[in-house]
Structures are given as C-alpha cells and as structure tokens.
Structure 1
Amino acid sequence: MSKRVLTTESGAPVADNQNSATAGVGGPLLLQDQHLLEKLARFNRERIPERVVHARGSGAYGYFEVTDDVTAYTSADFLSTVGKRTETFLRFSTVADSLGGADAVRDPRGFAVKFYTEEGNYDLVGNNTPVFFIKDPIKFPDFIHSQKRDPFTGKQEPDNVWDFWAHSPEATHQVTWLMGDRGIPASYRHMNGYGSHTYQWTNEAGEAFFVKYHFKTNQGVRSLSSEQAAELAGKDANSHQTDLLQAIERGVNPSWTLHVQIMPAAEAADYRFNPFDLTKVWPHSDYPLQRVGRLVLDRNPDNVFAEVEQAAFSPNNFVPGIGPSPDKMLQGRLFAYADAHRYRLGVNHTLLAVNAPKAVLGGKADNYGRDGLMAANAYGRDRKNYEPNSYDGPAETGKALSAPLAVNGHTGTHEAPLHTKDDHFFQAGELYRLMSAEEQARLVANIAGGLSQVTRDDVIEKNLAHFHAADTEYGKRVEEAVRALRED
C-alpha cells in the first residue's frame, strides 16, 4: 500500500513538517514558508464560539423504531408504521457550565434528538426534566445570566442563582426537581428525557392533538448524591462522556422507550390550568402515557467536534404531522435556537454532515437559499434561484405541516384577510386609466420591450393575463405590441 502524503490546504505535498524554513542556519524564519504560516493560522482558528447554554455535551447516533400505532393522532411518516426505523442523533448536555465543565454536577441535562426522517429532519429539543424554571422567553437571558459565571468574581454565585429564583416563584417546581434525588444523573444512560414543551400532532383527517414526550430510560434511573458527584467529578471530569463512549464501544447500546401524553386540542381551553405552561406537567391520571417506540444508540461519532460540537438542533425543524403549540417558551425557542446556530456555525451549517437531511435529494435540502460563508450548494446552471418559477424547481406543497393554532379566538394562518375588493389587479387598472394617452403608449412600449425578449411562451402568456385582468384595453395593447416585436 502506498504511503499517504501530508499536504497543505491547497493539496500540495509538504516537504518538511518538523523544521520551519529559515534564512540560513539559525537565521530568522522566512515569510515564504507557506506551510508554517497556514498551519499556525489554522491553529488559531480551531475553536468556534461555544454555546451560551448546553455547551458541555456528548452525543451518539442510533435509530428510533415504532412499536405502537399512533396514526390516529399524527400523519408523521416516520411514525406511520409499526416496525419502521429512522436514523437519529442524540446530544446530551449540561446547561449552565462552559465547555470545559465537569459532567457530574447538579444541573438539568439537555436531551436533544434529531430524527433524520424521509420528510426532512425533525428536532425534538428537551431536557431530562419535564418542566423548566420559567415560562416566558423574555426572562431567559436574565435567568441564564444568574446561573452562569458572575462578571466580577468569574464563578457561579449562589447569591445570583437564588436571587433570581426568589423573584421567580414559577421556578419552584423545577427547583424541586433539580434539588431532589434526580438532580445529578449517574450517567446519560441512566436518566429519562422529556420534550418538556407541549407540541401539536395532526392526523390525516386534520384533527389536532397536543402532546408531551417522555423518553423512559430502559437502563433504569440512577442518580448520584452531592458527595458522590463531587468525588466522581474530581476523578474524571468527563465521567458521563466516558460512560457513554465506552458503553457503546462495548456493544452495550443504551435505549429509551418513548411514550406520549395526548390531549385533544378542544380540551386545552377548558383545562384546569394552562396546558402550555412549561413550569407544569400534565398529571398522568388526566392524560396517561401511551407507548410509541424505542430509541437506541449504537454508534459513537468519529469526531466529537465535527459531530457533537457542530450538531445544530432547532425546535422549529418540524415534519408534516407535527407542529408547535402556544407554549410561550417554545415559541421563543423557535427563533432563538436557529439564530444561535447561524451565529456559531454560519448560515450554511445545515450542510454539515451531522445536520444535513439524509433522505432529501441525497442529503441536502432543496430550496433557494444561496451564498453565505462556506456555501457549498450554490445551484447554478441546473435551475433558477428564485420561486415561483417556470423551470420545475422545488415548489411549495400547499399542505400545512400541522393544524393552525387557535389562540384566544384567533387562528394562525399564512392567508391574507379577504375584503370586498381585494385582488392583485384593480388598482393597476385604475392607474392605467389615469394616464394620458402618451403615458399609456410609453408604458405599453416599455413592457413589450422587455416581455418580448422572454424565451418561454408560457411565461409571456401568464404576464399578459395579468395586464388583461387589470384593464381589457391595457392587456390588448400590450399583447399586440409583444406580438409585433416577436414577429420582427
């Protein structure tokens, strides 16, 4: 087998990777040593901004297998058939500490699942607790500031942590979870995961249901006392990463059983408390757990930075049959998560292997986004870069992913309100009729001059129809002028 050759970023072979080029023996370094300069410059740029929250994380690949029929509640294709498997990536994390923090600490754990479905990626971004500290996203930056390192002391301050909670009585439920026996999981394998938020499922008939996700660990829940955690963190700051990595390498693949609570949408308005309040759970006596399937992790990432640090999850990555609820915290996260990734990783972060859809056009999204830092999918000759178009580019389906949300008597919709005289053409016709004869002649000539150069007859006809709809004379004059120019 031939020996692999070390190369520069441009692909040129490297002659010497042990000694820098100098001006004579012992002389100063030479600016012409391209390999040295490139190597140092790249090294300076190895790190990207860490996540403000959930910075410290671990992850693994696996699959989700449907075990129970839930088609009465959702039309999501990846949940459509018992036995169907979908590839997944799961990222675990602590919330408050930085990338270099210890794993065995008292802190909520992120539990973010990316389903690589045949209809695009579905991201379910939750925690190992079914509730959270706050219920309104406007408080989130302040909450995180109180939990992170103090700007003066440079460390987490109990004064800040508890002062915020003192002024946020809604945090009491989550504080009770955090300070209880499950506040420090023994490992990522030995904790439950929750969607935490309320989401919406929609079935084929268009019926809407609100749901909460519960991933129950099949390894059993195990936790650490404060004393055990302090000892473990001192011995191995990477204890949870170590455990997850080694378990999968040994073939001891961790798994969770997914259950959901299902509330018919019509029951939400009259429920005894706000069912979209993230600081509250739905009692199982009201809405029992219903089994859906099994989540299994069976493959470790090859590169932690590329696949765990650069994994990007966003709660607004839905698929047909699944959508948001009026949960205010969820609504805030629909913006904040995607925005964080565009900042940290760039606008083209969805082209990275760990984030790219697996089943859409061989692993890349099919849309009209263009350019930006590190653009790799800049469509050119193969199709136009706008929509709608006449060239068979990707087009909207006209079918909503989920049922519209009805909140306080108002239904969310993409449609504009209807009025008695609300079309695209009548004011264009009125403007034409206000013009003098000379103005009309110049207008017709200008339109015809451009439209006559179009190569597709169907595009010309569609535009002519617009002018006819605005004013009969207007349309007739433009059509005749275009025809005359095309016949020349």
Structure 2
Amino acid sequence: MTTQDELRPTLTTEAGAPVADNQNTETAGVGGPALIQDQQLFEKLAHFNRERIPERVVHARGAGAYGTFTVTADVTAYTRAAFLSEVGKQTETFLRFSTVAGNLGAADAVRDPRGFALKFYTEEGNYDLVGNNTPVFFIKDASKFPDFIHTQKRDPYTGSQEADNVWDFWGLSPEATHQVTWLFGDRGIPASYRHMDGFGSHTYQWQNEAGEYFWVKYHFKTDQGIRNLTQGEANKLAGEDPDSHQRDLRESIERGEFPSWTVSVQIMPAADAADYRFNPFDLTKVWPHADYPLVEFGRLELNRNPDNVFAEVEQSIFSPSHFVPGIGPSPDKMLQGRLFAYADAHRYRVGINADHLPVNRPHATEALHNHRDGHLYDGRHGRRKNYEPNSFGGPVQTGRPLWAPTAVDGVTGTHEAPSHAEDNDFVQAGDLYRLMGEDEKQRLIGNLSGFIAKVSSDREDIVERAVDNFRKADADFGRRLENAVRELRKQR
C-alpha cells in the first residue's frame, strides 16, 4: 500500500538535497553537544536570523492586494499613456495600504494618515502612484521631511512618542495646520482600508500626443462609502484586534466582496498655473472643485490577495519616480524630494535588485537595461552586453522624453516656494473647519485638545503656538480649542 507520506514531496535543503531528519539536531552521542556538521540546523538558524529586512522608516505597517484598473472614459486629449489609451482597457495593479508613523508591529486602528501606494503593471513599464488617504500633507518642502518624521517617532531619550516634540514642530510649522485639521477630524481614523478615499496628493503632469501638457491631481473615491472610527472606538479596537484593517481587507477579498474605487482627476491647463490663486504645486493645499471639477476616468478593483505577505507586501517597492510616457512630475518640492528618496530607501532596505522580485518587476513588458550584479542578482541577463551604445543588438533609447519639459528662470538658490494671491498657511484649514457640522467640530476639538494637553506643564509656549495656528485659521476654532486645552491641563 502507498502511505500518505509517500505521496508528499520531499523536504530539501536550500541547495535541493533531501533532508533526512528535521526533528532532531545531530549531536555527539545521545545527549551530547551539537555538531557543526549539521548543516540543516545551521542553514535553518542562519536563514531564520535573516528573515526580516529593515522595516520602512515610514509606512512600515501595511497590507496589500492585487487588482484591476479599468478605463471608463476617454482621456486621450490629456495624456498619451498607453494604459489610458481606450475605454474598457484593463491594467493589472498592486495596491499597498499603510499607516505612516507606527512600526511593523503597531496597531491598525490609530489616528494617522494612511498610505495609498498603487502600482500599475502597464505595457510601457510600471507606473507607481504614491499617495495617501488625505489630499494634503504636513509640509511643503522635502528638506523638512526627516525632521517632521523624527517628531512622530520615538524620542531618542525617552524611547516614546512625545507630545512636546509633535506640537513643538507643528506649532513652529504653521503650514501643517491644514493637514492637522484633517487628521484630527472624523476621517483621521478610517474604519478600514476599504472605507476610505485615496489621493495622489501631489500635482503631476499629463502630456498628450500633440505635446500639450496639463497639471493633474488624482482622486480615488471609495465605492464602499466612507466609514470612520471615533477615538474611543479606535482605542478599543486597537487593543482587541491590532490587525483589524489587514484582516478586513484580506477577508473581504476571500468572500468575493472586492473593494473598488472610482478614479478621477482634476485637470489644470498648464497656462493656468502661474496665476492661479493658490500655488498649484503646494502639497499643503487642495484645488477647490469649483475651480477644477473632478473628471472621472477609471475604476480600481482589488480582487486577489497576496500568497505571501513578506514576499509581496513587505518587499513591494513604490517610487513616484516610476513614470510612463505621457505622465511626469511637477515642480512640487515635496514630490521632487520623493523622486529620489523613495527609490533610494528601497535600494537600502530591500536591495539594489529589488525591482527583480515578482511583485515589483513589470508584468506586461520586460525591463531591458544595463544594470548588473549586486546583492541577490540572479544572472537573468546571461551573456548580454551591459553597456550602451553597443553593436551587439542591445536595447537603444527612444529619443522621446516621457513628459513635457517645463520652463525655468532665475538664479539657483535655496528659495522658498513662490507665493500666489491667496496663499497662506491657514486659509484652507479654516475653510475645512467651517465645512464641518457642530458634532464634527466638537469631536475635532476633543481630539486636538486631548493631545495638546499632554505637552509638558512647563512648556506653555508650545501649547500657545499650537493653539494660535488654529486661531489664525478660524477665530471660533482657536477659542474653543484654547478653552478645552486649558480645562484639561487644569485636571493634570
């Protein structure tokens, strides 16, 4: 008779040799010390010690899924990107959701922006759109990003996140007021990844076949509807089920309830940018829809879970520098910094050949370049020459830039971003506050005051600067926040 075990494949070493005993270490006699010749033991332990790669400095905690993007409206008047070339065309995608500040073991249900990083596996190469679930961000210049993140992470002395650090930085960086108002409002803690919107956040360029170019902002509106958690609900859920958002996403796809988003862009003719009332490349500001309404052009559906979280979610890499013909960057100073920083982070974290991994390499075309060797290089190029130009049939350049050139003038220097007619750090935060209903305003004040009140008792200057930024956004906003913080600090 054939036993069940005889039907199963043979366990092997990494080199493919069969393993005789995977239960017992080889020893010098019964009960004796282990022998160094037990290579199965040392192979297992050595691999186990190296199973983790450095977690992302930001967006460490995440979940992902594969899906399909479908074009639903003609946008060829604005972009020559092949994957957007005709209504009904479909492109495979991979979307990674994440929280920003927490480490890999943090809970999902926390007050934090959510990353919304989307990879399109197009026939012209991979296009990465790296955004958040908010249309704006805390800062407008990439040079401030390390400082900002240091305030959100653990203090080098206490080893904990400190309210002093957070509010000291935000108080001294009034440009953060708009995003902070978003973050401490009702949408600051989504109930799940499925029940939140996504945004490209930055301004990007689209270029059509005629060479005309436009500035665009991406919007992903959840088809499941917006659902959020209160601070109390989130505190309870984070303690009971730290993996709540990851579990919800995975199980919804397993049930066949595929989450989807309606995809739109705001389109600004290039000529409008210079005189627009806000700096159109300032990441701390939105373009009001009354100025540039949403133009719907696609639908994103997630319909397949990764088979291995480490291989496909943790080792997935995204960079806003991964463009395709017809799509390019803008002068947004945060985006300009991210064009380098994201790709460089993955070269360090995953390795120089991270783009060779199945989740990262192009699925609808082949990457042809002259990069060779380095950590985890698999020899895929064989004997092909690794230089250009060559006369051995190697790949050649197209001579056609992916996006349109933009005019520049003036002298080099560390310039502040140009200011437009209605630019200041508070106007849009005030507009957002005034859009809220009374119940939502009360929750916003409660969320903000609870955190500001944690600032050290001998640092009233930090408290005053923090409150004053919201006072400048809206007088009622500042007055109510000041009173709430004062009452809470009396109770300490």
- Cα distance in 2 between the residues matched to 1:151 and 1:2: 55
**Amino acid across the alignment from 1:393:** G
1:206 aligns with one of 211, 214, 217: 211
Any idea what the Cα deviations from partners look like across 1:182-219, whole Å, max 9, x if unmatched?
00000000000000000000000000100000000000
How much has 1:327 moved relative to structure 2? 0.3
| Matching residue of 2:434 | none
Tell me whether 121-130 or 271-280 shows the greater mean CA deviation: 271-280
Amino acid in structure 2 at the alignment position of 1:405: T
**2:28 matched to 1:23?**
yes
Query: Which residue, out of 365, 368, 383, partners 1:366?
Result: 368
- Contact 1:371/1:378 (<8 A) preserved: no
Tell whether the 8 Å contact from 1:370 to 1:378 is kept in structure 2 after alignment. no
Residues 59 and 301, structure 1, Cα contact 8 Å, conserved in 2: yes
Q: Distance in 2 between matches of 1:162 and 1:36?
A: 51
Moved more, 121-130 or 365-374: 365-374
2:271 is equivalent to residue 271 of structure 1:
no
Offset, 1:266: 1.2
1:250-399 → structure 2 map (5 Å cutoff): 250-361=255-366, 365-381=367-383, 383-399=384-400
Match of 1:116 among 112, 117, 121: 121
TM-score (norm 2): 0.81
Answering whether residue 202 of structure 2 is matched by residue 192 of structure 1, we say no
Deviation at 1:407, TM superposition (A): 3.1
Q: Aligned partners of 1:316 and 1:48: how far apart in 2?
A: 23
The answer for the alignment partner of 2:88 in structure 1 is: 83
State the one-letter code of the partner of 1:178.
L
CA displacement, residues 35-74 of structure 1 (integer Å, 9 cap, x when unaligned): 0111111111111100000000000000000000000000
Q: Which of 1 and 2 has higher RCO (CA within 8 Å, sep 6+)?
A: 2
The match for 1:153 is 158
Moved more, 370-379 or 221-230: 370-379
Hey, what's the Cα distance between the residues in 1 that align with 2:393 and 2:25? 55
Q: Check conservation: 1:326, 1:407, Cα contact below 8 A.
A: no
- The 3-state SS of whatever aligns with 2:7 is coil
How far off its partner does 1:159 sit?
Answer: 1.0
CA distance in 2 between counterparts of 1:163 and 1:372 reads: 43
Q: Could you tell me which amino acid in structure 1 is paired with residue 209 of structure 2?
A: E
Deviation at 1:376, TM superposition (A): 1.4
CA distance in 2, matches of 1:79, 1:155: 46
**Structure 2: gaps (5+ residues):** 1-5, 412-492
Q: Residues 54-69 of structure 1 correspond to what in structure 2 (within 5 A)?
A: 54-69=59-74
Partner of 1:104: 109
127-136 or 24-33: which moved more? 24-33
Q: CA RMSD in A?
A: 1.0
Q: Matches of residues 167-182 of structure 1 in structure 2 within 5 Å? A: 167-182=172-187
Alpha-carbon separation, structure 1, partners of 2:397 and 2:294: 36
Q: Deviations over 1:212-258 (max 9, x none)?
A: 00000000011000001001111100000010010000000000000
Partners of 1:391 and 1:288 lie apart in 2 by 51
Corresponding residue to 2:221 among 213, 216, 220: 216
Deviation at 1:380, TM superposition (A): 3.6
Task: Tell me the matched-pair count.
Answer: 406
Partner of 1:115, secondary structure, is strand
Per-residue CA distance 1:388-444 (angstroms, 9 max, x = gap): 11122111000110101223479xxxxxxxxxxxxxxxxxxxxxxxxxxxxxxxxxx
User: Aligned pair 1:4/2:9, yes or no?
Assistant: yes
Q: Percent identity?
A: 75
Deviation at 1:377, TM superposition (A): 3.8
What is the aligned partner in structure 2 of residue 126 from structure 1? 131
Aligned to 1:135: 140
Q: Report if aligned partners of 1:66, 1:83 keep a CA contact under 8 Å in 2.
A: yes
Alignment-mate amino acid for residue 252 of structure 2: A
- What secondary structure does 2:274 align onto? coil
SS in 2 for 1:228: helix
400-409 vs 86-95, which moves further: 400-409
How much has 1:378 moved relative to structure 2?
4.8
Q: Is 1:403 aligned to 2:408, yes or no?
A: no
**Aligned-pair CA distance for 1:2:** 3.1
Show the counterpart of 1:451: none
Q: 1:243 aligns with which of 239, 248, 255?
A: 248
3-state SS of 1:248 partner: helix
Q: Give distance in 1, aligned partners of 2:184 and 2:300.
A: 28
TM-score, normalised with respect to structure 1: 0.82
Aligned to 2:170: 165
